[in-house]
Structure 1
Amino acid sequence: METVLRTTNLNKYFYEPQPFQVLKDINLEVRKGEFLSLVGKSGCGKSTLLYLISTMDTDYEGTLEMNNTLLTGKKQNELARFRNEHIGFVFQFHFLLPEFTVLQNVMIPALKLGRYKPQEVEERAYEKLKILDVHEHATKPASKLSGGQQQRVAIARALINDPSIIMGDEPTGNLDSYNAQVVFDIFRQLTREFGQTIITVTHDPEFAANSDRIVEMSDGRIISSHPALIS
């Protein structure tokens, strides 16, 4: 199966208040259409790794490739364009613009990318909202939705540019058990029906168990990589 992301000997250091190596020789391959969970205790380096592979942090040793493109060493403006085109983000907090409508929030990354005309962007955004079953709220201000609905809108926004990878940082961390299950189901649907690649950092063992593969980290290293029990 096609490899969509590869890291080779990634090392990362923090220098304040004193030098500390937070990632140690990280070698990771992610296949197209895979739903992968990064797990481990707080401070193990999993969130740091997510920010490196998302190109948000470029201060590291080693190499990062995505879609057979070497990203290590690229300039910030090149990386910003690459991120917008190839990576969708879902965070613990949805970061929607409350005064904008649901539809406008979803459209923002696609308007920025400029690949489609505004009318096409609007149509695509509505289609993504339909997949997430929140299309009936398209014209409401984002602030009028429940927390679970807002997170579904955030996932629709992450999908708008048909990214190579969706990266989630504790995407269910701010949700109750019902809405967390809804997000599980959405992510499973996206990988099964649409071949979407998803990489998430999570502390939730149930969430990890719903993924395809669990990569466990400890003290800055990957210590295991294995299929999820119920994948």
Structure 2
Amino acid sequence: MNEALVAEKVNKYFHEPEEFRVLQDISFSINRGEFVPIIGKSGCGKSTLLYLLSTLDTDYTGLITINGERVTGLSQNELAVFRNKHIGFVFQFHFLLPEFTALENVMLPAMKLGRWSKTEIEDRALQQLRQLEMEPFAHKISGKLSGGQQQRIAIARALINDPMIVMADEPTGNLDSGNTKLVFDIFSRLAHEKNIAVVAVTHDLDFAKHADRVIEMKDGHIISPNI
């Protein structure tokens, strides 16, 4: 099985101040080893879709399957465990703990998962930082690092538990062009060399246009699933 994620007839409604259908019969799939940005104007529903796909929002109709497992209908506790095992998250605002070192931030999801010893987790975290050319900063307080460096730490943190899918919400929104290209190269390498599915919501068309394919949204619909 090569499908990492499948969405089938997903619909989402907002109920305040009046009922509004923000996602309309969304259906598509993404394979392992694919880097797929989701693009569209503000308000088109792309970030809402990402939060459904990532299981952070469960108020929808339709069906979402990740790594062959139906996540629709799982309890919040079951979803929390599933996310930590299978999904890595990268956000526009990296959400690092500023008083922790880079290494400590990367270790956190693995400490929560409890699959490895603390020594093994530290080794894994250092390996991730090394792959992202951040090992020299491992013991630096994350709040003292640049925006580009912090985003690379956030990517290392997303990878610590060997996820089969990485979901990113505007991951380059606060970065300059040089760091944007670096993040693109990292995501592309993760997909093609590590066989990870990478799904990234973005406004940046330059960031998106060299990916494997692009899903374009408008008014809650997918209008171009394979640019």
Asked if TM exceeds 0.5, the reply is yes
Shift of 1:191: 1.5
Maintained 8 Å contact 2:34/2:192: no
C-alpha displacement at 1:28, in angstroms? 1.2
1:192 to partner: Cα distance:
2.0
The aligned runs of 1:104-119 (5 Å cut-off) are 104-119=104-119
Which residue identity does 1:33 align to in structure 2?
Answer: G
- Measured in 1, the distance between the counterparts of 2:192 and 2:69 equals 25
User: Partner of 1:213: helix, strand, or coil?
Assistant: coil
Instruction: Using the TM superposition, name which of 152-161 and 218-227 deviates more.
Output: 218-227
- 2:136 aligns with 136
Aligned partner of residue 48 in structure 1, secondary structure: helix
The gaps in structure 1 that reach 5 residues or longer are: none
Hey, what does 1:212 align to over in structure 2? 212
**SS of aligned partner of 1:226:** coil
Structure 2 counterpart SS, 1:140 = coil
CA shift, 1:93, in A, is 1.0
Structure 1 counterpart of 2:13 = 13
Matches within 5 A, 1:150-229: 150-227=150-227
- Paired with 1:92 and 1:48, the residues of 2 have a C-alpha distance of 15
1:126-178 deviation line (CA, Å, top 9, x unaligned): 00000100000101110121110000000000000010111000000000111
| Superimposed CA distance per residue, residues 17-43 of structure 1 (whole angstroms, 9 cap, x where no aligned partner) | 000000000001010110001011111
Which residue is equivalent to 1:33? 33
The separation in 2 between residues aligned to 1:201 and 1:19, in whole angstroms, is: 25
Provide the rounded CA distance (Å) in 1 between the counterparts of 2:49 and 2:83: 16
Q: Identity across aligned pairs (percent)?
A: 59
Q: CA deviation at 1:210?
A: 2.3
Matched residues in 1 for 2:6 and 2:192: separation?
Answer: 22
CA distance in 1, matches of 2:68, 2:51: 19
Say if 2:126 and 2:138, in contact at 8 Å, map to a contact too: yes
Could you report, residue by residue, the CA deviation over 1:72-104 in whole angstroms, capped at 9, with x for unpaired residues?
Answer: 111000000100111101001111101111100
Query: In the alignment, is the contact (CA less than 8 A) between 2:92 and 2:169 conserved in 1?
Result: yes
Residue range with higher mean Cα deviation, 106-115 or 191-200:
191-200
* CA distance in 1 between partners of 2:46 and 2:129 (Å): 30
Match of 1:168, SS? Answer: strand
1:194 CA drift (Å): 1.3
Shift of 1:202: 0.4
Please report the RMSD computed on the Cα atoms of aligned residues, expressed in angstroms. Answer: 0.8
TM-score (norm. length: structure 2)? 0.98
Give the TM-score normalised by the residue count of structure 1. Answer: 0.97
Give the residue type in structure 1 aligned to 2:28: L
Mapped to 2, the partners of 1:172 and 1:13 lie a distance apart of 28
Deviation at 1:196, TM superposition (A): 1.7
Q: Distance in 2 between matches of 1:226 and 1:12?
A: 23
**Partner-residue secondary structure (3-state), 1:16:** coil
Does the 8 A contact of 2:142 with 2:150 survive in 1?
yes
Aligned-partner SS, 2:83: helix
Matches within 5 A, 1:42-81: 42-81=42-81
Is 209-218 or 101-110 further displaced after alignment?
Answer: 209-218
What is the letter of the counterpart of residue 6 of structure 1?
A: V
Structure 1 runs (4+) greater than 2 angstroms displaced = none
